């Protein structure tokens, strides 16, 4: 395989492609539910109202109607409760004892699906009923996440960053070039699911360890509200010199496409090659201003949402060799839906509000 870097050109014209599927609720409401909100979603309505979101924006974020948002906000103001009212209905198909057994089994076997729980407990109900009882017990199924714990200092810096940049308006954020690096590998890429208590998805027991991978290639890319910038493939560890080479070949050329005669900003995380003295000198010499960036904050970077989408599209081709992997990365980068990119970059102000509302903890993006 050729281990030289492979630059990918920017794209400013929208490719004709099928529309993307509708985004899932940010709180993972079970499929089939329309306006039957979970307790977490109801609490989110209150929190987002209190930080200044409109009922329409909240309804769009939670994928429900504005009437439902208004109902729960009014109920909270009146009763300070988000619980369901008692109402008649058909009897439950499980007893309190069975519900308790499902909750205890799930706690002890967090990697088991509802179908497995149904089989192991020998229950005579539908697996969807078991899934609902697991949800009622405070467990929700999600993909095991791979992340680092946020310290109190990390959270403090994330909150301060959000407050500092709250003064920026939409026009300011439209001049930011967002960037990041993404690792692509050969081999199995299936998701590993785990059942965990709501709000504990980042606890160590629910996070998988990082595996040592072989046959890998990195992609550096940049995006902005106006479209895709340049991207470049590279192999191996990245140092400051190599990073500066990538920027020299790609960054300024991409920025000239979108802001030929106006000022713009560059975003990068705090990786060592990014913050090295020689890299800072490179930015100064080339007249490029970087926005500040808080530690441990991939959830604040819109390009992270693109990585998830791009990864799914690349791995759908099931590449068998490094040449195939690099080929499909280049193809699918070019096929990225530009409306999706614009939407990701347009929600940065909502992310700032959520960071403050979540007291610096990771936000659901």
Asked whether residue 165 is domain-assigned, the answer is: yes
Domain for residue 74, yes or no? yes
Any bridge partners for residue 193, and if so which? 143
Which pLDDT score is estimated for 119? 84
> Are 197 and 276 part of one and the same domain?
yes
- For residue 132, what pLDDT is reported? 86
CATH of the domain at 249: 3.30.420.10
Q: Do 59 and 131 sit in the same domain of this protein?
A: no
Structure tokens at 351: 């992310």
Question: What is the enclosing helix (H) or strand (E) of 328?
Answer: helix 322-334
pLDDT at 9: 56
**Of the residues 88, 106, 137, the one at which a domain ends:** 137
- Look at residue 287 in the predicted model and tell me its pLDDT: 95
Assess if residue 28 is contained within a domain.
no
Lowest mean pLDDT among 146-150, 265-269, 295-299, 313-317: 146-150
Q: Based on the fold, state whether residues 168 and 62 are members of the same structural domain.
A: no
Range of the domain at 346: 6-14+150-357
Q: Are residues 101 and 183 in the same domain?
A: no
Compute CA distances 12 → 38, 136, 221, 351, whole Å.
Answer: 40, 47, 14, 25
Mean per-residue pLDDT over the chain, rounded: 83
Higher-pLDDT residue of 146, 221: 221
What CA–CA distances, in Å, run from 181 to 217, 232, 306? Answer: 10, 9, 11
Q: Look at residues 49, 79, 109 and tell me which one is the last residue of a structural domain.
A: 79
pLDDT tier at 212, thresholds 50, 70, 90: very low
| 293 pLDDT higher than 60 | yes
**91 found inside a domain:** no
Residue 32: what pLDDT?
Answer: 38
Q: Are residues 131 and 214 in the same domain?
A: no
Quote the percentage of the chain above a pLDDT of 70. 78
Does residue 247 sit in the same domain as residue 178? yes
In this prediction, residue 35 carries a pLDDT of: 47
Residue 31 lies in a domain: no
The number of folded domains in the chain is: 3
The residue assigned the tokens 């539910």 is: 33
CA angle 30, 31, 34 (to 5 degrees): 90
pLDDT band of residue 64 (cuts 50, 70, 90) is confident
Between 69-78, 246-255, 290-299, the lowest mean confidence (pLDDT) is in: 69-78
Identify whether 142 is part of a domain. Answer: no
Strand duo 289-290 + 265-266: pairing: parallel
- Distance set, CA 163 to CA 47, 150, 211 (Å): 17, 18, 36
Residue 84 CA to residue 86 CA, distance in Å, equals: 6
Note whether residue 32 is domain-resident: no
Residue 320 lies in a domain: yes
Residue 202 has a pLDDT of 65
Average pLDDT over residues 50-78: 85
pLDDT digits (tens, 9 = 90+) for 68-113: 888 888 888 888 888 766 555 567 788 888 888 888 888 777 777 8
Whether 114 and 182 map to the same domain: the answer is no
Q: Are residues 160 and 300 in the same domain?
A: yes
Strands 176-185 and 193-197, how do they pair?
Answer: unpaired
Both 180 and 107 in a single domain? no
Q: How confident is residue 258, by pLDDT bands cut at 50, 70 and 90?
A: very high
Do 121 and 156 belong together in one domain? no
> Does 44 share its domain with 102?
no
pLDDT, one tens digit per residue, over 7-31 is: 665 655 554 444 444 444 445 444 4
238: which residues sit within 8 A by CB, 6+ positions away?
181, 218, 271, 273
* Residue 283 in this model has a pLDDT that exceeds 90: yes
193 and 340 share one domain: yes
In contact, 129 and 94? CB cutoff 8 Å? yes
For 86-95, the CB contacts below 8 A with 24+ separation are 93/125, 93/129, 94/123, 94/125, 94/129, 94/133
Question: Which among 254, 221, 257 is positioned nearest to 344, based on CA atoms?
Answer: 221
The larger pLDDT score, comparing residue 211 to residue 90, is at 90
| DSSP output for 107-127 | HH-TT--HHHHHHHHT-SS-H
Averaged pLDDT, 283-300: 96
| Separation between Cα atoms, residue 281 and residue 275, nearest integer Å | 10
Higher pLDDT, 5 or 285: 285
């Amino acid at each position: 395989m050729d281990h030289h870097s492979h630059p990918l050109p920017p794209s400013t014209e929208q490719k004709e492609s099928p529309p993307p599927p509708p985004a899932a609720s940010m709180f993972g409401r079970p499929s089939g539910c329309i306006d039957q909100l979970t307790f977490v979603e109801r609490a989110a309505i209150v929190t987002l109202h209190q930080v200044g979101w409109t009922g329409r924006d909240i309804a769009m974020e939670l994928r429900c109607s504005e009437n439902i948002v208004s109902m729960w906000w009014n109920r909270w103001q009146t009763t300070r409760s988000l619980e369901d009212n008692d109402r008649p209905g058909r009897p439950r198909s499980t007893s309190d004892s069975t519900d308790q057994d499902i909750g205890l089994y799930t706690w002890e076997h967090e990697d088991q699906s509802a179908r497995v729980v149904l089989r192991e407990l020998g229950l005579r109900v539908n697996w969807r009923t078991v899934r609902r009882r697991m949800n009622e017990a405070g467990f929700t199924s999600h993909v095991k996440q791979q992340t680092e714990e946020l310290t109190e200092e990390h959270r403090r810096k994330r909150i301060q960053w959000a407050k500092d940049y709250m003064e920026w308006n939409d026009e300011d954020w439209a001049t930011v070039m967002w960037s990041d690096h993404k690792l692509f590998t050969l081999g199995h890429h299936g998701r590993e699911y785990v059942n965990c208590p709501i709000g504990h998805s980042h606890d160590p027991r629910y996070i998988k360890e990082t595996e040592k991978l072989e046959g890998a290639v990195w992609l550096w890319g940049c995006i902005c509200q106006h479209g895709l910038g340049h991207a470049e493939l590279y192999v191996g560890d990245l140092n400051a010199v190599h990073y500066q080479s990538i920027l020299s070949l790609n960054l300024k050329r991409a920025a000239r496409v979108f802001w030929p005669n106006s000022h713009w900003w560059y975003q990068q995380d705090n990786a060592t090659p990014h913050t090295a003295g020689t890299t800072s000198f490179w930015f100064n010499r080339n007249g490029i201003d970087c926005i500040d960036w808080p530690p441990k904050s991939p959830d604040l970077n819109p390009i992270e949402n693109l990585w998830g989408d791009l990864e799914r599209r690349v791995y759908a081709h099931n590449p068998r060799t490094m040449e195939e992997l690099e080929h499909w990365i280049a193809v699918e980068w070019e096929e990225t839906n530009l409306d999706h990119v614009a939407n990701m970059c347009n929600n940065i102000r909502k992310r700032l509000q959520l960071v403050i509302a979540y007291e610096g903890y990771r936000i659901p993006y």
